[in-house]
């Protein structure tokens, strides 16, 4: 699965006419700038994306992009949509290829890890550019965004797993958080710590996914006891820091 990006050729878009006060025109111009930023991203990765680069590619004033995006952080936020759409497609296809809630949850986790392992710039954009937090995370944001759709897919997959093992969904949220932590921990280690002599990637990934599933099952089944263990572990870590 590859990100749906423009080709490597340097595209020069035909800019839409923007009439003063016309919302549709402004949205089309914003879309054209986002597409241009995506082309820059495709050609040079995250470091190639800038407000100045967008204006130069479109042959417009350096200040024009700031009429549509407050800053580079907001521009990067728009790129999130493109990346997360591809992530959604990847995990959806992986889930659909399996039968049974446990197998489908495993497929979800593995597909997400595989996607980011093969898309390092996309990983950096989504997880290492925190100032570009997606607007769907803000109060009052559009709940139809792909970010929310991806989270909803994860919630449905997790809920089906809880039902399959006969567990209540009372502690579903903490179980979801544990999966997310496991995913981020694996990606951070495997993608950014190149000096450590890791095990063969496929073996390591499979082991991490298996451990994540076991942790989730224990959390869903034992509920409060699991949450208590996690709280105790957190307190112990804080003591060691002091």
Q: Enumerate domains of the chain plus CATH numbers.
A: 1-69 (no CATH), 80-241 (1.10.357.10)
Predicted confidence at residue 96, as pLDDT, reads 97
- For residue 225, what pLDDT is reported? 66
Measured distance CA(35)–CA(61) in Å, rounded: 17
Per-residue confidence (pLDDT) for residue 136, from 0 to 100: 43
Q: Do residues 106 and 209 touch, judged by C-beta distance below 8 A?
A: yes
Structural Rg of the chain based on CA atoms: 21
Tell me, what's the pLDDT at 70?
87
Give DSSP secondary structure letters for 123-157: HHHHHS-GGG--GGGSTT--TTSHHHHHHHHHHHH
The pTM (predicted TM-score) of the whole model is 0.75
Q: CA–CA separation, 125 vs 86, rounded Å?
A: 14
- CA–CA dist 128, 116 (Å, integer): 12
CA distance 99 to 103: 6
Per-residue pLDDT of the chain (242 residues; tens, 9 = 90+): 445 544 444 545 556 666 676 677 778 888 888 889 988 988 888 888 899 999 999 888 999 899 888 888 888 888 888 889 999 999 999 999 999 999 999 999 999 999 999 998 889 888 877 544 545 444 444 444 888 999 999 999 999 999 999 998 889 999 999 999 999 999 999 998 989 999 999 999 999 999 999 999 999 988 756 656 555 555 554 555 55
- Token pair, residue 188, equals 């951070």
Closest CA to 5 of 29, 40, 49: 40
**Angle, vertex CA 225, rays to CA 176 and CA 236, nearest 5:** 85
In terms of DSSP H, where are the helices of the chain?
A: 23-44, 51-58, 72-96, 101-117, 120-127, 146-164, 172-187, 201-222, 224-241
Token pair 């095990």 is at which residue?
Answer: 199
Straight-line distance from the first to the last Cα atom of the chain, in angstroms, rounded to the nearest whole number = 45
Task: Give the CB-side neighbour count of residue 37, counting CA atoms within 13 A.
Answer: 28
Cβ-count burial 159-186 (b if 16+ within 10 Å, e if not): eebbeeeebeeebbebbbebbeebbeeb
Q: What is the pLDDT at residue 164?
A: 96
């Amino acid at each position: 699965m590859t990100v749906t990006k423009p080709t490597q050729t340097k595209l020069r878009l035909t800019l839409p006419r923007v009439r003063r006060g016309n919302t549709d025109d402004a949205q089309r111009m914003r879309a054209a700038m986002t597409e241009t930023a995506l082309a820059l991203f495709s050609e040079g990765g995250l470091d190639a994306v800038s407000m100045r680069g967008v204006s130069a590619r479109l042959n417009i004033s350096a200040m024009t992009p700031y009429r549509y995006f407050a800053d580079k952080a907001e521009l990067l936020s728009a790129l999130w949509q493109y990346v997360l759409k591809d992530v959604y497609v990847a995990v959806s296809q992986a889930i659909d290829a399996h039968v049974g809630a446990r197998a489908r949850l495993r497929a979800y986790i593995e597909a997400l890890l595989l996607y980011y392992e093969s898309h390092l710039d996309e990983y950096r954009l989504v997880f290492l550019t925190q100032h570009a937090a997606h607007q769907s995370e803000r109060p009052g944001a559009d709940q139809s965004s792909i970010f929310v759709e991806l989270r909803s897919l994860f919630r449905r997959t997790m809920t089906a797993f809880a039902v399959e093992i006969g567990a209540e969904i009372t502690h579903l949220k903490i179980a979801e958080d544990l999966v997310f932590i496991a995913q981020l921990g694996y990606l951070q280690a495997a993608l950014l710590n190149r000096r450590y002599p890791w095990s063969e990637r496929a073996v390591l990934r499979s082991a991490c996914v298996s451990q994540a599933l076991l942790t989730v099952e224990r959390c869903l089944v034992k509920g409060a006891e699991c949450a208590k263990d996690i709280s105790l572990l957190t307190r112990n870590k804080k003591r060691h820091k002091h």
